[in-house]
Amino acid sequence: MKFIFPFFCLFILGSCTIKEEEDFSYLERDLEHFELGFELDEPNSILNNLAKGNLDRNIKAVLRQHHDEFPEPAEKYWEFHYLPNSDRVSEMVFYSGNYRRCEQTNFNFFYNRENLLDSIVSNRINVCNEFEVNRLYTFNYTGEGLLKSIFMDNETSVEENYFSYYPNGRIKEIFNDFHHKGDWEPGFGVQKFYYDKSFSNVIKHEKIGLNSHYTYYYFYDDKPNPFKGLFIAASVFMPNIGPAYLSENNVIKMIEKNENNIHGNSFSYEFDFNFVGDRLDTYADKNEDKMLYIFYRVNP
């Protein structure tokens, strides 16, 4: 046995070191955009409202303050620059990390010969943690000139935004997926939009993910919404309340319902939009006593 035992130990130890190497080659594969796998509804008339890069040029900047239990509110800030004599945005600068302290992202807008968006290039720089992220948003059109999708590309991740339409050209659905290197399967979520009879405002909005389903109901004032039309991608944080990029007026009340909640609970939020003449000045949660009170100021 004294000869067998060492041999046995060597055999066991040897077998323990014989391990198949894990294959990480999938991390080196090229990032590709996923297709939906089915046809999207197309309109009878083409509006391309989300391809124009429009924003009311009276809006030069928006400051967002998120008040909670901390001594100072968390702040985010957007600056907007326009093409000469136009409502078309040429550049948006977004500051996060408590307004101009750490991080900013520059979005530069490029248009095609039809004055529709061709691409948006973003450059995100964080001076506190010393990193930089570049992204390209490409606007894809059908042969007839209809905005079909917006793709985002960078070195480590991609995003797809696919659009479905009502016959009159208004947005019906947005299918969105965001994935990184090594993700083999898409995880598309969908946003569904339901309008009032005149198709002026979105009154119902469903957000359906792989494991989530929320429904929102919106109520509006009668004043023009200056944020209508400006959309980059579902993942880009904007100073919107509700689907402002699709609606003519401003949301003054929102009801949120979690469809996966067996108790059917819903939550109601109210907002104040204050104008000076015909120009939006401030908008905020109506209840200032809320711990998570959010306040926006236009052109601070």
Encode the chain (300 residues) as per-residue pLDDT tens digits.
Answer: 444 444 334 333 343 433 345 443 434 446 788 899 899 999 999 999 999 999 999 999 999 999 886 777 888 999 999 999 999 999 999 998 765 678 899 999 999 999 999 999 999 998 888 889 999 999 999 999 999 999 999 989 999 999 999 999 999 999 999 988 766 677 899 999 999 999 999 999 999 998 999 999 999 999 999 999 999 999 999 999 999 999 999 999 999 999 999 887 899 999 999 999 989 999 999 988 777 899 999 999
Q: How many domains is the chain partitioned into structurally?
A: 1
Nearest 10 degrees: CA dihedral of 286, 291, 296, 300? 120
**80, 73 Cβ separation under 8 angstroms:** no
Residue 178 located in a structural domain: yes
Residue 18 lies in a domain: no
Residue 253 CB neighbours (<10 A): 15
Cα–Cα dist 296/278, whole Å = 17
Structure tokens at 129: 């943690």
The CATH number linked to 107 is 2.40.160
pLDDT tens digit sequence for 130-188: 889 999 999 999 999 999 999 999 989 999 999 999 999 999 999 999 988 766 677 89
End-to-end CA distance of the chain: 87
Range of the domain at 55: 41-298
Tell me whether residue 13 is in a domain: no
Q: Is residue 32 part of a domain?
A: no
Note the pLDDT tens digit of each residue in 195-206.
Answer: 999 999 999 999
Residue 200 domain flag: yes
Question: Taken in order 58, 117, 249, 61, is the CA torsion positive or negative?
Answer: negative
Two tokens at 28? 């080196």
Q: What angle do CA 30, 116, 283 make, to 5 degrees?
A: 95
CA distance 137 to 147: 13
Is residue 274 included in any domain, yes or no? Answer: yes
Which residues, including other chains, have CB under 8 Å from residue 155's CB and lie 6 or more apart? 134
DSSP class of residue 242 equals S
In a domain, 26, yes or no: no
- What is the helix (H) or strand (E) element at residue 6, kind and residue range? helix 4-17
Q: Examine residue 29 and state whether it is found in any structural domain, yes or no.
A: no
Give the separation between CA 51 and CA 46, rounded to whole angstroms: 11
Q: Are 51 and 117 in contact (CB under 8 A)?
A: yes
Which residues, in sequence order, are CB contacts of 189 under 8 Å at separation 6+? Answer: 175, 176, 177, 207, 208, 209, 210
